[in-house]
Structure 1
């Protein structure tokens, strides 16, 4: 909903200016010299709103003119010259707490400076917009004046100033909105950032044709829009799925599939365990592993890191003299229920000589 704004001009003595800044609209509640506004209890500039106005003013890329007696507003109607009395520099607006909206970068023309110095011009008159409650909304224009009463600027000229402001602001908002829309369309259609409006339209036409071909629904025709086309595509997919024939021989229940996967995993684990046991047994037989503690350590490691154990054992040197002894040790460690192979008298004699 649009907010109704009113336009007014007010005047302040130039003594409010300092070498550092020029006061354009004062902070807080104020009225005109003649008692206006008559359509609001007063004018009011809050710090929050003042900072917003300053931010908008500092987005201007050109300086704001200060003229004589608001001649710029009249020139739009009459075409008469409207010489500048000074300039409010772009980017030089600031809000000073306890003071109001100010310009920290302003210059007077030599002629205007002479008028001010000789007091031929004594007042600074801003034109601003305000709400029905009297809250200041925007700064439109600034002029030197010698007529502090608000009657010096007819309501028709104020209305024209407000109309021009809204027209320019509306054009800027439309431009920003259009650019945002184009940016979103580029993203949706996966187009490069350099894509023009014509490129986007061409891609949209392709999309419309594809939707019509796939669903039989013409977008934006006969009351159909893109959402109708998406709904039609969903219905088409459901219908296609309901008509499909399922071959039960090509599928199994999920429980059966999961059981098969589990058995395959168990079989792989059993095979891995047997491989490691055989590797450790062989290492004990050829003398690469000696000692019960060492053998048990490798067995423990094989449970969690079989690849490490395999690499370690394969890198160990074989010791032929210890082959028989280590084979006996690993057999005892691996399976206490196995019965050692029989030993004849000759083998027993050899074992005794080596301390086995």
Structure 2
């Protein structure tokens, strides 16, 4: 629901001597000399609201002007000059407990100082906004005046002052929001065309990633991004605080790499020998026959050893060739064990009536 604020002007007597601070809005409940406000039970400035007003005033980038007879408000309509009587310095506003919203850094023009010293101007008149309950909300303008009664400004001028305040405040909020969005786009590495919805979606993803990495919920239960950063730092500290590694359990990288290379070479050599033995056996038992076939598989041993092994193991042995080769081996072994004797030589030895042993012993 839209908040309705009203504007009012009141006056406070100035001291001829330079005070330590100017009281702009008094603390607590107060009324005008003529009994105003008539649209609220009273005016009331609470310490909490006073602190908020001071914080907003100190964020201004320019000083607040003190004019004559609220000429600044009239100049917005007429375009007439509104010379300054003095200035309330930005950063010099403060809330003094028991006193109210004050300015401890202010200066008068020489002309205004002369008017005050000669009592030609006697009152300081702030213009402020308040709600229907009479609670003071904002300070708009300050002026030197000789009209001590409250709310002497026409209602139209006060309404215009309030409208001007809201317009400036809205523009400032829009500017601040656009600056915030621009910074978020830069931080999240988003394009300039990224909308507020795009930024929110990216922030939601970032929030989920932070929670997953740190276990800290961002912006919930009093937590925020700085808590997540602190949690990440604690994880890092915990990791770095682990006991130092045992040197006996580790070796230099060069030694490790050399051992890996030697183990790999030994494994390759064993695999090559196994494949060569398998190849030779296949040639011997008849699984590989023919010059072209043997040459093909021999050429594949180095480039495609797994293929050669699979092919040879799937080939059937040829029984006839296996048996023939076995018989030849047995004949060769028998030949070495028992030398063959020529049948003619045995017949001659028989005719002579001698034995082979006698012939070898005594001679033919």
So what's the TM-score if we normalise by structure 1? 0.53
Coordinate RMSD, CA, aligned? 2.5
The match for 1:163 is 163
Find the aligned partners of 1:18 and 1:95 in 2 and give their Cα distance. Answer: 19
1:68 aligned residue? 68
| Alpha-carbon distance between aligned partners in 2 of 1:33 and 1:52, rounded to the nearest angstrom | 27
Match of 2:39 in 1: 39
Aligned CA distance change for structure 1 residues 45 and 18 (closer, same or farther; 3 Å): farther
Paired position in structure 1 for 2:96: 96
- 1:117, CA displacement in angstroms? 1.4
Which residue of structure 2 lines up, in the alignment, with residue 273 of structure 1?
A: none
Task: Indicate the residue corresponding to 2:324 in structure 1.
Answer: none
Q: Distance in 1 between matches of 2:20 and 2:5?
A: 32
CA contact (8 A) 2:22 2:104 kept: yes
CA deviation after TM superposition for structure 1 residue 184, in Å? 3.4
Shift of 1:16: 9.9
SS in 1 for 2:192: helix
What runs of 5+ residues in structure 1 fail to find an aligned partner? Answer: 192-198, 208-225, 227-304, 309-356
After TM superposition, list the pairs within 5 Å mapping 1:264-279 onto structure 2. none
In structure 1, the residue matched to 2:192 is 200
In the TM superposition, what are the counterparts of 1:16-165 in structure 2 within 5 Å?
Answer: 19-165=19-165
For residues 252-263 of structure 1, what are the structure 2 equivalents within 5 Å? none
TM-score (structure 2 length as normaliser): 0.52
Q: Aligned runs of 1:234-253 on 2, under 5 Å? A: none
Give SS of 1:150's match: coil
Shift of 1:150: 3.0
Instruction: Call closer, same or farther: CA 1:9–1:120 in 2, change over 3 Å.
Output: same
Deviations 1:85-118 (A, max 9, x none): 1111111111111110110011111111111112
Larger Rg: 2
Contact 1:17 1:23 in 2 (8 A): no
Distance in 2 (CA, whole Å) between partners of 1:16 and 1:63 is 23
Contact conserved, 2:9 with 2:151, CA < 8 A, in 1? no
Report if aligned partners of 2:17, 2:117 keep a CA contact under 8 Å in 1.
no
State the match for 1:345 in structure 2.
none
CA contact (8 A) 1:11 1:124 kept: yes
Runs of 5+ in structure 2 lacking a partner? 202-245, 250-364
3-state DSSP class of the match of 2:147?
A: coil
